[in-house]
A and B are shown apart, each in its own frame.
Chain A
């Protein structure tokens, strides 16, 4: 049993051990949720919901080789999905443009142009492609874990990544993506 599995087992009985896990993963989960929702207040609420759900279901957690953070991401994905399902209808796009950017509220991170440009392009991808790219390139999860977090086969994750990156290439201004043209600098999905 590795160190993380032992830590989770301790956390099932000992609050201080859960505190250690919380300290280790809180920022990462918060950042992921903030990136998906774009609102500090909602991100804080959903982070709290995610850790509360994790705590309630901690007794069910069985270590099967997947990292604990993958389990947290899976809960966070469910929380975000639930949030979007139950939230009230949004306003028209034309009106939304006139409103102040919620990401610039107090406590919100300062966003670079690179971030805005990339996220505007990502938001034009399908939900699956967006999710897969965020988990792969922003959260550094391996394909097997992304498959488990999203609840889809690994081949579908690879397809989402491939098509998503291809689409992203068309959406971003410069030529950033090149299929099979630079094998020496390539990256292989495994």
Chain B
């Protein structure tokens, strides 16, 4: 991009320059502070240690806060979903038969040991898994 700057504007810009200098007192005070700075007097390894020491409490605090938040979330949060567990072993074939007749029990699978696994739908929307330890004694009327 090429443009022409009128000499008048260029001169005006140059005339508008600030003609200021830092006061000698401030300049020497700042100079003294900079030159006696720890940057020159402190070994680099020590400086690294100072930096670590400054960040260590912050890191430890962040870690502790994270741990507390996780703990609280664990205590107050919803229970984790778990696989259905076998709560009881039913030894009363007649009760199983009765539930089957009412349509409240469903056959799920046959386990490795030959026992049959059933699931009962409870009224509050939960389910209960039961095992029939004496297979084949029940007449399944509802699947």
Q: Which chain B positions have C-beta within 8 A of A129? A: none
Pick the contact of A187: B4, B37, B39 (CB < 8 A): B4
A169 near B35 (CB under 8 angstroms)?
Answer: no
A47 touches B1 (CB 8 A): no
B1 touches A186 (CB 8 A): no
| Minimum CB–CB distance for B78 against chain A, Å | 42
A48-56, A68-76, A80-88, A145-153 - the one binding chain B: A48-56
Chain A 97-122 near chain B by CB (<8 Å), digits 1 or 0: 00000000001110110110111000
Given A15-B34, A115-B15, 13 new contacts (CB under 8 A): A15-B36, A18-B35, A19-B34, A19-B35, A47-B30, A112-B15, A137-B13, A162-B1, A168-B9, A178-B4, A186-B5, A187-B3, A188-B3
Q: Give every chain A residue within 8 A of B72 (Cβ-Cβ).
A: none
Q: Which residue of A lies closest to B1 (CB)?
A: A158
Q: Which of B17, B20, B35, B40 contacts A30 (CB 8 A)?
A: B20
Bound CA–CA A188/B14 (angstroms)? 17
A66 to B72, CA, bound (A): 54
| Measured CA separation A159–B6 after assembly (Å) | 17
Q: List 20 A-B contacts (CB under 8 A).
A: A13-B40, A15-B37, A22-B34, A23-B31, A26-B22, A34-B18, A108-B20, A109-B19, A109-B20, A115-B15, A118-B12, A118-B13, A118-B16, A138-B16, A162-B1, A172-B9, A175-B8, A177-B6, A179-B3, A186-B3
B47 to chain A: closest CB distance in Å?
Answer: 10
- Report how far A48 CA is from B34 CA in the complex, Å: 9
A117 contacts which chain B residues (CB < 8 A)? 16
- With A118-B16, A137-B14 known as contacts, the answer to whether A186 contacts B4 (CB < 8 A) is yes
- B6–A185 touching, CB < 8 Å: yes
Within 8 A of B (CB), among A159-190: 159, 162, 165, 168-169, 172, 174-183, 185-189
Residue pair B35, A115 in contact (C-beta under 8 Å)? no
Q: Is the CB of B9 within 8 A of A30?
A: no
User: Would A51 and B18 count as touching, CB distance under 8 A?
Assistant: no
Q: Which of A35, A118, A176, A189 contacts B3 (CB 8 A)?
A: A189
Given contacts A44-B22, A114-B15, A137-B10, contact A162 B3 (CB under 8 A): yes
Quick check: A179 and B4 within 8 Å, CB to CB? Answer: yes
- The contact size tier of chain A is 35 or more
Whole-angstrom distance from the CB of B21 to the nearest CB of chain A?
Answer: 5
Q: Which residues of A contact B (CB under 8 A)?
A: 13-16, 18-19, 22-23, 26-27, 30-31, 34-35, 44, 47-48, 51-52, 55-56, 58, 107-109, 111-112, 114-115, 117-119, 133, 137-138, 155, 158-159, 162, 165, 168-169, 172, 174-183, 185-189
Knowing A18-B34, A27-B21, A187-B10 are in contact, say whether A115-B1 is a contact too (CB < 8 A). no
Find chain B residues with CB under 8 A from A30 CB.
Answer: 20-22
Closest 5 CB pairs of A and B: A186-B4, A118-B16, A176-B9, A109-B20, A137-B13
Q: Does B27 contact A (CB under 8 A)?
A: yes
Distance between Cα atoms of A108 and B5 in the complex (Å): 31
